[in-house]
Each structure stands twice: as C-alpha cells, then as structure tokens.
Amino acid sequence: MFKKALADLKTSAPLRSSDRRKLKQRVLQSFPVLQPEEGDLLVPDGVQSQKFSTHLEEPGVAYLSPEGDPLWFTIGKGSEELIPTVYTLWKRPDLLPFLSTPAPVVPKLISGADLMIPGVIQHSPDLVPDQLVSVTQYHRGAIGPPLAVGRMAVSSDTLRSAEEKDIKGKAVYVLHTWKDALWGDGVE
C-alpha cells in the first residue's frame, strides 16, 4: 500500500486536546488488550494529523507523534478504523495477533508483496479473515519484532490445513511495512 511515495501529502496539524482525547478513546476501544494508562504512550501529547493519498489514490489520515513518527493511520474515504504502524507495534508488540515468517521473505514484504501461506511459520490461534495482524520475522524459535501490518486473507484453520494439504495462496494482505513510504515519513 505504501510501496511508493505518498501523493497529495497535506501539512501536518496538531490535534486539539479534545480531539486527542477522542483519538485516545478510539484507540482504547478498538484494542481492548490495552490498559487505560497505555493510551498516553500510544497517543502522546502533541500528536498531529496529516491527510494523504496513496499512489493508488486512496485517501487516508496519518496520526504522527510530536517527533513526526507515524503512529496510526486510516485508509479509505470516511474510514474510522485505526491501524497501528510498525512504530506503534514496537511500543506494544502484542497489540495485534501475529504471524511469523523466515528472514528471506522479509525483503519481499518490504518491496510490496503480500505474505503467502507457504511463508507462514508460526501464527496466533483463532485468526479470522479481514482481521488486523502483525508480521514478524521468525528467528531460531523466537518471534522477532513486528515488521509489517496487514489483514488476514484466510483463517488460522486454513493455515493449519495448509501444513498438511499443501495449500497455496495469500495469508496476509500487507498494508504497511518497516521501511515503506509511510515508515519513511517518520524519524529513524
């Protein structure tokens, strides 16, 4: 989604304190695993909003930290669904269910590919199609930090069946990755 530079990037503007409180409340409601005190970490004072269009001309809004790191985004006209960025997932790695993939797959994801079923090594249980997930790198039995955010294309039952029946196809439609154009707008 963000493999090319953002088009029609507007100037970022600080959120009013009332809008920041609403955003923080939306985050806490959308992600019930969060404790109320974590709201300030994930929606800090001085958060800014910035409208953009993707190279596919899809409108969106990015919510940026005071330092300019993208923390959340919405995609699609009038969309209210908040999607965490990789920056946010590094602060709270367990915010989303996960899938892990071997190191050779990561560059393909960063170049804009979706995660295919054969590339999944481990995954959270009870995944359903269209659910937001993080993609991590598998490393010697350990799960690495989140490197991508996407939507499930299949259920975890399909992933389990794929191990036995050699099922192919997409596992995750990738929305945002480490080192993509949205990431590049942040401060490394």
Average pLDDT (131-155) is: 92
Average pLDDT (79-106) is: 94
Question: Do residues 178 and 110 make contact, with C-beta atoms less than 8 angstroms apart?
Answer: yes
Average pLDDT, the chain: 90
pLDDT at 66 over 60: yes
Q: Which residues contact 116 (CB under 8 A, 6 or more apart)?
A: 168, 169, 170, 171
Provide the pLDDT for residue 188: 38
How many C-alpha atoms does 126 have within 13 Å on its Cβ side?
1
Cα–Cα distance measured from residue 80 to residue 74, given in angstroms and rounded to the nearest whole number: 7
**Strands 122-123, 170-177: pairing kind:** unpaired
Q: Which residue has the tokens 């959120």?
A: 15
Provide the pLDDT for residue 57: 84
DSSP strand E in the chain: where?
13-14, 48-53, 59-64, 70-75, 83-84, 98-101, 115-116, 122-123, 132-139, 142-152, 170-177
Q: Which of 1-5, 50-54, 115-119 has the lowest mean pLDDT?
A: 1-5
Per-domain boundaries in the chain:
13-92, 98-177
Q: Which residues contact 60 (CB under 8 A, 6 or more apart)?
A: 51, 52, 53, 54, 73, 74, 75, 76, 79
CATH topology agreement for domains 13-92 and 98-177: no
Cα–Cα distance measured from residue 23 to residue 63, given in angstroms and rounded to the nearest whole number: 9
The pTM score is: 0.90
Domain 13-92 is found in CATH 3.10.450: yes
Question: Do residues 82 and 75 make contact, with C-beta atoms less than 8 angstroms apart?
Answer: no
Provide the pLDDT for residue 113: 94
Cα–Cα distance measured from residue 184 to residue 5, given in angstroms and rounded to the nearest whole number: 9
| Other CB atoms within 10 A of residue 70 CB | 23
Fold observed for domain 98-177: 2.30.130
Amino acid at 176: H
Q: Which two tokens stand for residue 74?
A: 């919405």
